[in-house]
Amino acid sequence: MQDDNNKNMILASVLSMLVLLTWFYFFPQEDYQPVATNQITASENGIAAAPTAGNGIASAPAITTTVAETREIALEKTKRVEIRSNRIKGSLSLTGARIDDLKLLDYNVKLNDTSEKVTLLSPAGGPSAYYILHGFSPAGSLDFDDVPTATTIWSVENGNILTPNSSVTLKWDNSNGLVFYRKIEVDDDYMFTITQSVQNNTNANISLAPYGLIAQKGPIARAAYGRQESSKNGV
């Protein structure tokens, strides 16, 4: 009886393989060619004009950098705000207001060795860049000079260290009537909350497309698009 079961299993496997080979012979798979849509390249010193994503709103830019520095050198190039909790430590860059330096204190690189913790996020310009970026894409009469970009230098409006008990609020004034605020919070389990707002001191209504993306060295970068409208003196 055992021999019969073994023979039946072998026969079923052979027949399944023949069916698969026949399928792939008559219906070959097309070669996959990745297609980039609404993507632009930005150097570390500036951002090129972006294509539109519909309704006259520019797409959130992807950032491409040339790795020529160590992680430590890349971190030292920008002013930073410390991030600290029982489970994470790191910093965010005031250039672009990027969250780009984060280590997980619960995880070790090597078993039974607590001297080196797992690095999750790393800054652009260094090896294995991996960071979180938020911003606004301009629409209507606005252009990229009117909104913060990946190279905008933000100032600290409130808070010195980001912890589960203390948030940090950043500010950037475009000198043309728009003031941008970004409030960053983190909880005990390293969940970040980003709240963006715009104070409109101009005499006209404006339209902006807020975005958020996680960028990684290589072809991986995703962006979530939304739309935000602000009237005079509105936030």
Q: How many CB atoms lie within 10 A of CB 142?
A: 20
For the chain, how long is the longest CA-to-CA vector?
89
The Cα–Cα gap between 141 and 207 comes to: 9
pLDDT at 141: 87
Instruction: Give the domains, in start order, of the chain with CATH numbers.
Output: 42-230 (2.70.98.90)
For residues 129 and 219, is the Cβ–Cβ distance under 8 A? no
**The pTM is what?**
0.67
pLDDT digits 0-9 by tens, 58-104: 454 545 555 568 999 999 999 999 999 999 999 999 999 999 999 99
Query: pLDDT 10s digit of each residue in the chain, 235 long?
Result: 556 666 667 767 766 666 555 544 444 444 434 333 333 333 333 333 333 444 554 454 545 555 568 999 999 999 999 999 999 999 999 999 999 999 999 999 988 888 899 999 999 888 889 999 999 989 888 988 999 998 999 999 999 999 999 999 999 999 999 999 999 999 998 899 999 999 999 999 999 888 888 888 754 444 333 333 443 344 4
The three-state secondary structure class of 51 is coil
The three-state secondary structure class of 161 is strand
